A and B are shown apart, each in its own frame.
Chain A
Amino acid sequence: MPEQTFIVNGERVTVEVEDNVRVLWVLRDLLGVTGPKYGCGINVCKACTSHINGKAFNPCAVQVGDLSADDEVTTIEGLPAQASEGARGQHGLHPMQEAWLERDVVQCGYCQPGQIMAAVALVRKVRDEGRTITDADLDGIRNICRCGTYTRIREAIRDGETRM
């Protein structure tokens, strides 16, 4: 069986699995990294949103064989380490996670790891564009939340942006 090597949350891993298995299942079913959630498997609900080399991606839509040994996958579990020690908040977490706690965003919590990972990527993206988050940016977020926590998500992203 083919060996697949890539980096997950700062650690290089090797798993034996066919090339076509999507990264979401390699993370969840083989590596036990369950922060990214399954919500659709076709890259529409965005519950599995994680980062690859610092950019948001959906591991349900990437074959593990398409990753190289130096590709760095970051899931919600690895997000705190993405912030410098001084930037982490009172819970030792990434500023966006701290903003999420401050606003008590979560209800059932299922979609929230994906929401947070999307929010971090969005802030980085607009910052690279030399601007700040707008209402239109928030309207464009595709991550679905069936509990309807959208208002607090919007507030937390704006708060997290100032903390990042």
Chain B
Amino acid sequence: MTTTDGPRTVNRRKFIGYLLGGATVVAAADLGMFGRGATADAGELPTLPQPAEIADLSDLLTLAAAPTSQLITVTINDDGTASFELPRAEVGQGITTAAAMLIAEELDLPLDKVHVTLAPARPELLYNQITGGSNTIHAMYTPIRVAAAVAKGALLQAAATVLGDSANKLTSHLGHIVAPDGRRVDYGRLSALAAKEQPEAVEVQLKDEGSHGVVGTPVNRIDALDAVTGTKRFATDLDVTDALPTMVCRAPTLNGTPNAVHNADEVRDMPGVTHVATVPTGVAVRASTFGQCIDAVRALDVSWNDGPVAGMSDEDALAGVRAAEGPVPALPAGETVSGDFTFWFRSNSAMDTNSAVADVREGRAEIWASLKNPNVAQGRIAEALGIPLNNVTVHVVQGGGSFGRRLFDEPAIEAARISHAMGVPVKLMWHRADDARVGRTHPLATSRIRACYSGDTVLGFQQAHTSIETDFRHGLGDIITAKAADLPAGLGNLPFAQVIFHLTTILPYDFGAVGQSLVETDTRFNTSSMRNIYSPDVRTANELIVDQLAQRMGTDPLEFRLSHLRNGRLRTALETAAEKAEWGKELPEGMAQGIGVHVEYKGVTACIMEIDCRPETVNRKVRNAVTGPRVTKATMVIDCGRAINPRGVEAQMQGCVNDGIAMTLTSSLHLRDGHFQEASWDNYFYTRQWNTPPELDVVVLESTEPPGGVGEAGVAASAAAAACAYARATGTMPTEFPINHQTLSFDPKPYTPPVPQSPTDGLDHTY
């Protein structure tokens, strides 16, 4: 089916693709059709569609990627396997598995014969190589299938010659083309026969989604075996010749810079140490082992220039945000409910700390790192080293988590600078203390809400969100928009932030005159998205006020929401969650349920949490840990459109629940005297086994809507549900998050030296 008769109009399932020239079948997609619409359900006092309901961030990213989608290729190899270089970063969200499933489906090939790797930086892809906004599957669902379908068509054509039948009489079966009389030929043999010398445009019809047998079926991750056997390779596991362990001694204040090194020769003579070099971000050491790097970092005697927030605390940062707050818009007359919420700095540090391998020699650079924006990294490395872009090769390595962190490329640039300064390859790894203290943060923000009502009608709902600047200088995946976002004094970034805010923010209720606004201020911090951008904070504030409105009107929180929701998919999700969670069941005093819902990433989520705030639970003791209120049960329902891999969606929702709980109850950074005090996992309290809900149910709803994103989709509803449950259990609406921020639950580690020494008593703690 490589060509069809009739006019070249493209109907709903027909697409144009290309067979590229080469020794084997290489097939690509071409796309240009994106229809979008939005409808508002009738409601009590309808709220006009918000911008994100008409076109959201996912649409923006997908549209930006569309013009270069024909550069996405699926290759059939002569061993009968298919290969695909995914131009996105796998950091745990499961996109390599989902991409392999799409190819296996369309090609009719067993899943284990589809090899998905990560594409290196490809500047020609422009906006089509950013991994963010949980957009991968939304953007690539069609291009990947078209490319696979083009390849399949070429295999059928080649098989027609081999089998002496016309292509339309042939069928495929798990890697073979089969003739009506049962003769068969495998894809591997056809691969070379089907190859084209010149590119050729063809029209294909995609497999009917109703007949999908792989897509929509729960499967295990394609990289699970590597992960459980310890053979999955992250950046610091790579064996690049002569790339010895390298670390950086950093300033005691955030973003401080080195002034003078007083004992470089002495440190260079330490056991295992090979090089010491000063770079803009600190003093780098290279040694035979990372342990010797830690010793060397601790031994360095360096004078530092203070960073831009020297002396500041997070209370000062909050005062700056308060000063930037604008007025909350006026509302129609009526009874008023208001709230003023603070969200403190939080860390998106992943288990796999910032790291990169770099080999910069003789005017060329080769970099290996987990990067969600490899084209921007390539451009910035070329600029930092003063060498042509073509001399910079950027390999994208699988990341041990990202949560927004790997949208940025500072470890790759730092490694390149160090390798350049030392003249040898380096394997740079940030110490956990670096990652926690100097890494990126979810910015401190306030959210003020005023809602008014008359009788049981909500007349208006206004929200003014004010935040430390959220850094979007990663652009849309290419160096040009990254440059545009990097205009001086935040002039480029602030408009970017406005666009992102309005493309991700939806209040899903009919609340009359709804307005949500953003003001950002203060560009001195290292910030980024954090498994969501604005939504967890915005929605937590919203849902707490929704509960207040319900209470004023004497209505049950569930009933109140169901009667005001203006999104049918969300209504179904919430009803399902309520039934599964047994909403309204009897609970002892000090325990309560809470609801959070959210619309984003082309899907909806509804979460109900049950929290235990009784003293015996709150005060339970775990060594070096924060315990506090325990979410004892969480129910998460998602309609993410067509779920490519429901098992993967379930996994992402489980993770989102733990993120939401952390944001509401336990996790924040404390800025004191110009530095974040947290230096490790015994200081920063991400959800642990003693915090995670013993009962956690996820329901992935069947849906015929186009596939949306899932990696971040459940965090906002989870954070809100935890907050609402806490408020109902304690009878007090919390106004700052996490709720324990005012209690510092650890003794801060020293700032000089900047990293702690490893203990030596491990043999006393075996079990």
Contacts and interface: CB of A to CB of B under 8 A. Distances in A.
Interface stretch (B86-94, B302-310, B458-466): B86-94
Contacts of B651: 104, 107, 149, 152
A62 B686 CA distance: 26
A75 B761 CA distance: 19
A147 B655 contact: yes
A77 B229 contact: yes
A150 B210 CA distance: 34
Contacts of B431: 41
B117 to A, nearest CB: 16
A146 B228 contact: no
Interface string A122-143: 1001000000000100111111
A36 B93 CA distance: 22
Contacts of B689: 138-143, 150, 153-154
Interface string A105-127: 11111111100100001100100
B342 interface: no
Interface string B344-358: 000001111100000
A87 interface: no
B290 A29 contact: yes
Contacts of A22: 291, 758, 760
B696 interface: yes
A37 B351 contact: yes
B221 A104 contact: yes
Given A135-B694, A139-B690, A151-B696, A66 B224 contact: no
Nearest to A76: B230
Given A107-B92, A109-B223, A125 B767 contact: yes
Given A45-B680, A58-B765, A149-B654, A35 B230 contact: yes
Interface in B200-249: 220-221, 223-234, 236-237, 239, 245
Nearest to B220: A104
Interface in A53-74: 55-63, 66
A164 interface: no
A106 B224 contact: yes
B681 A145 contact: no
Contacts of B693: 151
Contacts of B471: none
A148 B659 contact: yes
B681 to A, nearest CB: 5
Contacts of A32: 239
B113 to A, nearest CB: 18
B110 interface: no
B658 A150 contact: yes
A110 B351 contact: yes
B224 A146 contact: no
B492 interface: no
A43 interface: yes
Contacts of B682: 40, 42, 44
A52 B655 contact: no
Given A39-B432, A101-B220, A108-B92, A29 B288 contact: yes
B291 A25 contact: yes
B290 A146 contact: no
Nearest to B620: A139
Contacts of A77: 229-231
Interface string A6-50: 000000000001101111111011101011111111111101000
Nearest to A65: B760
B657 interface: yes
B233 A34 contact: yes
Contact of A61 (B234, B680, B759): B759
B321 interface: no
A101 B225 contact: yes
B230 A144 contact: no
Interface string B43-73: 0000000000000000000000000000000
A109 B758 contact: no
A57 B765 contact: yes
A153 B655 CA distance: 12
B767 A56 contact: yes
Contact of A108 (B272, B352, B765, B766): B352
B694 A104 contact: no
A148 B233 contact: no
Residue among A38, A42, A109, A140 with most chain B CB within 10 A: A109
A63 B759 CA distance: 9
B696 A30 contact: no
Contacts of B225: 91, 101
Interface string B248-290: 0000000000000000000000011000000000000000111
Contacts of A42: 432, 680, 682, 756, 758-759
Contact of B654 (A59, A63, A109, A152): A152
Nearest to B660: A148
A122 B694 CA distance: 18
Interface in B282-340: 288-292, 294
Interface stretch (B29-37, B145-153, B399-407, B499-507): B399-407
Given A22-B758, A45-B351, A40 B681 contact: yes
Given A55-B767, A61-B761, A107-B92, A146 B401 contact: yes
Interface in A85-110: 91, 93, 97, 100-101, 104-110
A24 B766 CA distance: 15
B763 interface: yes
B548 interface: no
A135 B630 CA distance: 14
A58 B656 CA distance: 28
A108 B399 contact: yes
Contacts of B624: 44
Residue among A57, A59, A142, A149 with most chain B CB within 10 A: A142
Contacts of A18: 271-272, 292
A101 B760 contact: no
Nearest to A1: B271
Contacts of B756: 41-42
B290 A57 contact: no
A140 B690 contact: yes
B91 A108 contact: yes
B763 A149 contact: no
B221 to A, nearest CB: 6
Contact of A148 (B245, B352, B398, B657): B657
A154 B236 CA distance: 28
A147 B236 CA distance: 19
A109 B432 contact: no
Nearest to B651: A107
A100 B227 CA distance: 10
Contact of B766 (A56, A97, A146, A148): A56
B684 to A, nearest CB: 10
Contacts of B767: 55-56, 121-122, 125
B647 interface: yes
A111 B351 contact: yes
Contact of B400 (A30, A93, A109, A140): A109
B765 to A, nearest CB: 7
A60 B758 contact: yes
A13 to B, nearest CB: 15
A62 B289 contact: no
A163 B682 CA distance: 33
Given A110-B234, A110-B352, A30 B758 contact: no
Contacts of B608: none
A45 B290 contact: no
Nearest to A60: B758
5 contacts: A18-B292, A20-B760, A76-B229, A104-B224, A108-B398
Given A35-B230, A106-B221, 4 more contacts: A25-B292, A144-B688, A147-B401, A151-B693
Give 10 closest A-B pairs by Cβ, nearest first: A35-B230, A108-B92, A110-B400, A109-B227, A148-B658, A61-B762, A148-B655, A76-B230, A25-B289, A62-B762
Interface of A: 17-18, 20-26, 28-30, 32, 34-45, 47, 52, 55-63, 66, 75-77, 80, 91, 93, 97, 100-101, 104-113, 116, 121-122, 125, 135, 138-154
